[in-house]
Each structure stands twice: as structure tokens, then as C-alpha cells.
Amino acid sequence: MADQPTSGVPIELRKVTKAFPGGREPAVHELDLDIPAGEIVVLLGPSGCGKTTTMRMINRLIEPTSGDILIGGQNSRGIDPDRLRRHIGYVIQQAGLFPHMTVAANIAQVPKMLGWDKRRIAERVDELLELVGLDPATYRGTYPRRLSGGQQQRVGVARALAADPPVLLMDEPFGALDPISRERLQDELLRLQDDLAKTIVFVTHDVDEALKIGDHIAVMQRPGHVVQYARPAEILTSPANDYVEQFLGAGSSMRLLRLTKVGDIELDQVLYASEDADAQELRAKIEDDGRGYALITDGMRRPLRWIGLDHLEGREGPVGSAGDPITGALSHRMTLQDALEELLNADTDNVPVVGRRQAYAGSLSLATVQNAIAAIKARERERRLRGVTAESAAAQEAP
């Protein structure tokens, strides 16, 4: 097995149409879509808008009536369908595992077809089980019926990744799971994708799922075409038309909170110092800063304690162990919604945020979150206004 996973390749759909015999309208109609390498692109839309048909044309489970699909620049019509499918992982709802095969045998299907030797397959199966968070010793010999829905889905993902394909197609993979397992698997997919950088086409009709996991979202409408193709924040703050707006539904502020990561907003820069800092020098800095407190960090800049002027009163030499231990820290990867929950339950108004290697990156308070949401909305209003002005100017110039 190569150490570096094979990263994604771009997929291009060029005027792709699928008309099923006897259908009143085509399932997919002249669809153009550029799916960048290494991104998660979500096909989002109501039932019957052609999401599954689009996806299944990519791995040629369904043949387009017309149009072309290029995978890594190569026209899929020229690739043998079996060969194509070995290079495209496919994950479906309820995993679709073979019940009479063990977990290991299910995962090993494609490597076996590719003629890998037994040892390489066994090593790969264990590696993949680890990757999707299942202990190999416990699960490799188990049968699917003994697994929970979430565990089955993890095995489904491991199976799709078995031969390290550059492309993954995921058709409502978490649709049958309870909300908690579903969230967990979404998080894990994002974590995996950080390392794997596959090109992932993901079908869902769940708006929140799309906003959370998509790098880009293609909002589809019947008959099989794309009405808006943009990044999640843009779809949320400037829906292309009434159809998209209605499909997204109400609650855009709450969705913005879910969509925005703590690391995306401007954090409060509370003064920080190490335990070695001179107590009286720090005291002077805190007085200058005006906030009345600072954060003490260790040598790796990891937050340890809050310190106030009273803790430093009369203290000579280094700060040492003075101050009150912090009761928690927020990760820069958390959504603002999760951060808000923590802030509401925190003992202090400000909570430190940690970035890579748990190093202090800034602080967050309720007021900071509120300002950030207001700023995102104001930016968007301004952008829309500019768009409208440009449109009316163009209309006036028109003969």
C-alpha cells in the first residue's frame, strides 16, 4: 500500500442528459458541472430532481443519453465500466454490505478483484478499519447484522476506500442514521477528507448536511438541472432565486452559526503571557491593556490560567502558578453554534480558543459571536446592494 493516499481528480459534466424510456421529462437535462479535484461537492435538491441519476452516470451505472463526463480529463465513455468503478468508491444509504460476508471480506472485495495478495489485503483491511474508527481485532471477523447502523456505514466507507480510489460517490450515505450518529459520521468524513483529499460527490436532500460538509453545493431542480452552484455561505446569504430561498427555509442566522467555524471569525485578542513572565511587568501590561486580566500559557502557548491584577498584587519574580485554572477551551474547528452552547455554560465571559497543537489563538465571548454574525450579514447586504445597483445601472444603459 502506498503511504500517500491517491488524491482526487476533477470531474466535468458537459451538457449531460438522461432521458429514461417513457419518462415525461428527462431525469437530467443538459447538466453542466465542474467538480474540482479534492473537494466535496454536494448535490442538493428535493426528491426526483435527478441527484442519484447524475451520480450514477459518473460511474456509468447509468449511461447518459447525451453529453460527456470527463474524469481526470478523460472521457468516461472511453473507460471500461468495470475498470472505472474500481477507481470510483461508492457509498450508499444503509451501506449495502453483503450480510453473509464478514466485515473484512466486505472491505476486501475490490482489492480481491484487483488480485492483491492475501497479506496485503489483510493489512489494508486493518488499516481501513482503524481509519474509520473501528477496532480491527473486534470487527474484522464480525458479520454486518451485528453492527449498528453507524458502524455499518463506517464499514461502507472503508469498503469504498479499499483500493484507494481518487473519487468517492456518496448517495445519502447517512440518511438512515439517527441524528447523533449522523453528525458524528459527518464529522469523521470531514476529518478523513482532511488527510485524503479525494474528490467526493455527495447526494443529500438535507440542507444542514449540505451546508456542513460541502465545499461547493449544487442546488438542483426538476427536471435535472442546477439552479445555483456556489459555496455554502454564498448559497445561504445570497440564494439565486425564490426556489433556492424556499428550499433553504427559514433560520438563516442559526444556519450561519452552524456554518461558521470559530477559526473563521475575528477573535478577541486577550493579552497572554507565559508562566516565566515577570509578575510586575505583566501587571503593568494588564493595566495598560485595560481589560483587567490576561491568560497564562505554558511553553507551547497552551492556555493554563486566567490571571487578574489581584493575583499579581505584591508578587515578585515570575508569575508561576498564580491565577485561576481555565475551565475549558474552544477549538478553532468548532462551529459557532457549538461554541455558543459552551459560552452559555462557561464560568467566565471569555473562553480561550485553541488552534493547531492546542496553542492559544484568541478568545471568544458572546459579544464577539454576536458581532461576527452581524458583520457577515452586513457584508452580504452590502454585496447584494452593490449587485442591485450594478443591475439597475445596466438596465438604465440598455437602449
Q: Which is nearer to ligand ATP, 21 or 317 (CB)?
A: 21
Q: How far is the CB of 52 from ligand ATP (least distance, A)?
A: 3
Among 17, 53, 297, 350, binds ligand ATP (CB under 6 A): 53
Give CA 129 to chain center in angstroms.
Answer: 21
Which listed range, 50-58, 129-137, 327-335, 365-373, lies at the site for ligand ATP (CB under 6 A)? 50-58
Q: Which C-beta is closer to ligand ATP: that of 203 or that of 294?
A: 203
Q: Does 177 bind ligand ATP (CB under 6 A)?
A: no
Phi-psi region of 169 (alpha: psi -120 to 50; beta: other; left: phi over 0): beta
- Tell me, by CB under 6 A, how many residues bind ligand ATP: 12
Q: Which listed residue (1, 7, 15, 20) binds ligand ATP by CB under 6 A?
A: 20
The residues facing 353 across adjacent strands are 330, 362
Q: Closer to ligand ATP by CB, 16 or 322: give it.
A: 16
Among 33, 39, 52, 85, binds ligand ATP (CB under 6 A): 52
For residue 218 the three cell numbers come to 449544487
Q: Nearest to residue 289, comparing CAs of 275, 268, 263?
A: 268
Q: How many helices and strands (H and E) does the chain possess?
A: 16, 17
Does the footprint of ligand ATP cover residue 260 (CB under 6 A)?
no
CB distance 363 to 326 below 8 Å: no
Question: Residues 21-40 vs ligand ATP: string with x where CB under 6 A?
Answer: --x---x-------------
> Is residue 50 within the footprint of ligand ATP (CB under 6 A)?
yes
Distance in Å, CB of 30 to ligand ATP, minimum: 15
Q: Which three cell numbers stand for residue 317?
A: 519574580
Rounded distance, CA 308 to CA 348, Å?
Answer: 13
Sign of torsion over alpha carbons 158, 85, 189, 8: positive
**Closer CB to ligand ATP, residue 45 or residue 156?**
45
Cα dihedral angle (163, 168, 170, 174), rounded to 10 degrees? Answer: 60
Q: Which is nearer to ligand ATP, 20 or 98 (CB)?
A: 20
| Closer by beta carbon to ligand ATP, 91 or else 162 | 91
3-state secondary structure of 80: coil
DSSP of 338-374: HHHHHHHH-SSS-EEEE-GGG-EEEEE-HHHHHHHHH
Task: Establish how many alpha carbons lie within 13 A of residue 158's alpha carbon, considering only the half-sphere containing its beta carbon.
Answer: 30
Determine which residue in the list 36, 38, 48, 72 makes contact with ligand ATP, applying CB under 6 A.
Answer: 48
Q: Of 309-368, which residues contact ligand ATP (CB under 6 A)?
A: none
H or E element at residue 208: helix 207-213
Starting at the edge strand found earlier in the chain, the sheet holding 225-230 runs 88-92, 167-171, 199-204, 40-44, 216-221, 225-230
Query: Of the candidates 33, 41, 44, 51, which one interacts with ligand ATP according to CB under 6 A?
Result: 51
Give the closest residue to 237 by CA, choosing from 216, 215, 255, 219: 255
Q: How far is the CB of 242 from ligand ATP (least distance, A)?
A: 20
The footprint of ligand ATP on residues 200-219 (CB under 6 A) is: 205
Stretch of residues binding ligand ATP (CB under 6 A), selected from 48-56, 119-127, 351-359, 377-385: 48-56
Should residue 63 be labelled a site residue for ligand ATP when binding is judged by CB under 6 A?
Answer: no
Which residues contact ligand ATP by CB under 6 A? 20, 23, 27, 45, 47-53, 205
